[in-house]
Structure 1
């Protein structure tokens, strides 16, 4: 790729993506009646919900976090009633992680609220901007897949 082609995708591209994510999180925190969960808590809960019984080390690898960081997150989520940890019957030194019904409901509520927020904000854009965002989704998904694959390789 020529340098001229890459210019629109310098730090400003990553800054916009991070800024949108940060603003969505801030807006979703408004009106919460329960203590907020940090992004790492949400990521771990989403992973455990999609892969019930995942182990701590596998979760750490999947999230690109240190094992002790994931252990700390697990302890906090267990304490708060959002996760349960069970001893792995095949290896008594390992734990299997499961989201509680409270966590599943909280994630559903968060996803519902996030979808409504994004849908409402996108609806405020003009037709050309909505079409541009829709057209960009496949490329953004591939970008995310590439980043994920590259992280797994390293």
Structure 2
């Protein structure tokens, strides 16, 4: 493959894998289906309980009002709690509900099982190639994260 073709091929493959994993995980789900941005926010809140809405918006590279809309949707679905920040009464801190934590755990378990099965089905050479590519993919993700941050 020519070096000029790599960016397009990589973007297509990564997007396709992401889409296919999401599609496979949607089958058999119980409860209301969550959109990608909702899941991203729940994962962030689970990772950093008590995060402020403004900090969540910054870390997700979304507008504050977009995150507020997601917070309202997830709150109405019983997946997110919003508390007043004791240090700044104008700010809200976000906390996952037990239902959100359980859904995220179940999603991760299903995702891990799916990918374990699929990776195990690959020839050994392909598994080694994927393992060897992980450091480069992590560096690519870090570079993209840095570029996305405001100056």
TM over 0.5: yes
How many angstroms does 1:6 deviate by? 2.9
How many angstroms does 1:91 deviate by? 1.3
Q: TM-score, normalised by structure 1?
A: 0.93
Is residue 22 of structure 2 the alignment partner of residue 32 of structure 1? no
How many angstroms does 1:35 deviate by? 1.3
Measured against aligned partners, the alpha-carbon deviations of 1:31-81 in whole angstroms (never above 9, x if no partner) come to: 112111111111000100111111111100100011111000000101111
Is residue 102 of structure 2 the alignment partner of residue 120 of structure 1? no
Q: TM-score, normalised by structure 2?
A: 0.95
Match of 2:73 among 73, 76, 85: 76
Q: What is the rounded CA distance, in whole Å, between the counterparts of 2:7 and 2:139 in structure 1?
A: 18
Match of 1:92 among 74, 89, 94: 89
Aligned length: 151
Name the residue aligned to 1:108: 105
Q: What is the rounded CA distance, in whole Å, between the counterparts of 2:62 and 2:6 in structure 1?
A: 26
Note the aligned Cα RMSD (angstroms): 1.3
Unaligned runs of 5+ in 2: none
Q: What is the rounded CA distance, in whole Å, between the counterparts of 1:77 and 1:144 in structure 2?
A: 27
How many angstroms does 1:103 deviate by? 0.5
Unaligned runs of 5+ in 1: none
